[in-house]
Amino acid sequence: MISDRRSFLGALVAFGASATPGSIWSGAAMAGSSVATKSATESLVEPAVLRSENGVLRAAITAAPGKVRLGEFVLPGLLYNGSYIPPLLRCRLGDTLRIAFKNDLPDQASNLHFHGMSVSPNGKSDNVFIHVHPGEHFEYEVHVPANGRQGPGFFWYHPHAHGLVDKQIRGGMSGALVVDGFEQLFPILRDLQERFLLIKDAELGDEAHLLSINGQIEPVLAMRPGEAQYWRIGNISAESFIKFGLDGVRLYVIATDGHPLSRPSPVRELFLGPGQRTDLLALAPGPGAYEMRTIAFENEAWRKPEPTRKLATILCTGPTENVGSEGAILAQRVQSPRWIDEVRASPIARRRTLVYSRTPDRRLFMINGKVMEEDRIDESVRLGDTEEWTIVNTDQQFHNFHIHQTAFLVTEVDGTRPDEDSLHDTFSVPRATADRPGMLKVVIPFTDPVIAGRFVYHCHAADHEDKGMMGVIEVGL
Ligand SMILES: [Cu+2]
């Protein structure tokens, strides 16, 4: 739309982009304002990695304003260590994360949250009630239990200072966190190339936005014909619900939000709300170029779906590989006990209902009619209990449900019972229709002693969370 293009040019001038207007778009800035850019031919770049050594992951992470270059655009960002894709943190069960966090943002508090981790919410650990003010340091010390519910998997880190989260994640403050060892569950992974696809969404003004993978616009992923690769895809954007699929390449899910399936499960398309991750085996077809594209869907009843757009190109060239035949993939079975089996076998100690709503002017988003207050405890839960929570969405747009320190089992979505083979820590709550609210039912284990304490649950569309759609839970004896 023309108005978008004009304001866009204004933004580009303001932030010093060097592109000339004629070269900025190969496609139009579409209705709904997703922006198509010139096709790139850049190979996908893996994020930089920081690994634990001798049981300790030492990292210094500084939040500060900085410029972000995304394809042809230069934008003002809020960055960790000056990078739109900050270091991927890799540790193992039993390790301690010692992270020196410095807030060099000039005007706003921040902190760190370790999304999806079953670790302590107290003290210097994964404590979202810590506020690190501008100019201040905080030394995080997060112990990853060797023998708790926490297993190997793909998680992420981002700020959680209430009211400021959306702006900071959208500016670039989010990165990947991995607990290594997943290959012990799926031995085939030992032979495969591992790739991270970290999806972010940058704001370009006037609702125009720019989806990227590893900070790249429409990157190229090289595969050999017939090759299997290990893909770890994370939606680490602030608030985007993204449905997408691939031509040609066959996909088999092996984990959701870091939690293993019992066996690889073929999938044709993926729907990842903000905060969700999935681990997949990707099996390349014959030689050729294939596209990863978004799939249009109606996120908000009052807005037309955004048009489909390209996310990446999969380029299959070179000699044929034999490593990843479909038979070898489908023969994989997780032999060790899984947390999901414990959750399924646990009696429901209590049922609760959370009703999501908002004010018509969109200034307040609520759970059970209340906006978040850090000093109020909304739900008190007994350690050791497993509960069933029903999230009722009265709003005609998607929200999602995320709870800190524990995963959950999805048992019902809008009246249908999905055949779930893995746990989640974040899951989309369908929007209301004109006739009835959207509904998600989950079973949540509060069984790991390490999670005792005070933490939060919320919609992970960070704008909604900032505007109140969050509650405080206390798990105790
Ligand atoms: Cu929401």
Strand pairing partners for 69?
74
The CA 224 to ligand 1 mean position distance, Å, reads 40
CA–CA separation, 333 and 315 (whole Å): 30
Measured in Å, residue 463 CA sits from the centre of ligand 1 at 7
Q: Are 437 and 394 in contact (CB under 8 A)?
A: yes
pLDDT digits (tens, 9 = 90+) for 163-216: 999 999 999 999 999 999 999 999 999 999 999 999 999 998 877 899 999 999
**Longest pairwise C-alpha distance within the chain:** 65
Taking the centre of ligand 1 as the mean of its atom positions, its distance from the CA of residue 372, in whole angstroms, is: 13
What is the topology classification, in CATH, of domain 185-330? Immunoglobulin-like (2.60.40)
Strand, coil or helix: 129: coil
- 92 band by pLDDT with thresholds 50, 70 and 90: very high
Cα(459) to centroid(ligand 1), Å: 5
210 Cα: distance to centroid of ligand 1 (angstroms): 20
- Pairing type for strands 73-80 and 153-158 reads unpaired
Pick the CATH number of 339-476 from 3.40.1370.10, 2.60.40.420, 3.40.640.10, 3.10.20.30: 2.60.40.420
CB 389, CB 368: distance < 8 Å: no
Ligand 1 center to 469 CA (angstroms): 7
Print burial letters for 64-101: b (CB count within 10 Å at least 16), e (below 16).
Answer: bebebebbbbbbebbbbbebbbbbbbbbbeebbbbbeb
For ligand 1, the distance from its centroid to the CA atom of residue 278, given in whole angstroms, is: 20
Q: 49-183 has which CATH code?
A: 2.60.40.420
pLDDT digits (tens, 9 = 90+) for 292-322: 999 999 899 888 898 899 999 999 999 987 6
Residue 391 Cα to ligand 1 middle (Å): 12
CA of 461 to the centre of ligand 1 (A): 5
pLDDT at 324: 60
Quickly state the pLDDT bin for 35 (edges 50, 70, 90).
low
Mean pLDDT (the chain) is 91
Q: Rounded to the nearest whole angstrom, what is the distance from the C-alpha of residue 211 to the centroid of ligand 1?
A: 19
How many whole angstroms from 191 Cα to the centroid of ligand 1?
Answer: 39
Residue 76 has pLDDT above 90, yes or no: yes
Which pLDDT score is estimated for 325?
A: 83
CA of 267 to the centre of ligand 1 (A): 26
Annotate 80-124 with three-state secondary structure.
ECCECCCCEEEECCCCEEEEEEEECCCCCCECCEEECCCCCCCCC
Cβ 109 vs Cβ 133: under 8 Å: yes
Would you give the end-to-end CA distance of the chain in angstroms? 57
pLDDT band per the 50, 70, 90 thresholds, residue 4: very low
Cα 447 to the center of its chain, rounded Å: 24
* DSSP conformational letter for 182: G
Q: β-strand 88-91 against 175-179: which pairing, if any?
A: parallel
| Start-end of CATH 2.60.40.420 domains in the chain | 49-183, 185-330, 339-476
Instruction: Report whether 121 contacts 404 (CB < 8 A).
Output: yes
Band the pLDDT of 39: cuts 50, 70, 90: low
DSSP 405-446: S--BEEEEETTB-----S-BSEEEEPPP-SSS-EEEEEEEE-
Residue whose structure tokens are 């040609």: 248
336-374 tens-digit pLDDT = 999 999 999 999 999 999 999 999 999 999 999 999 999
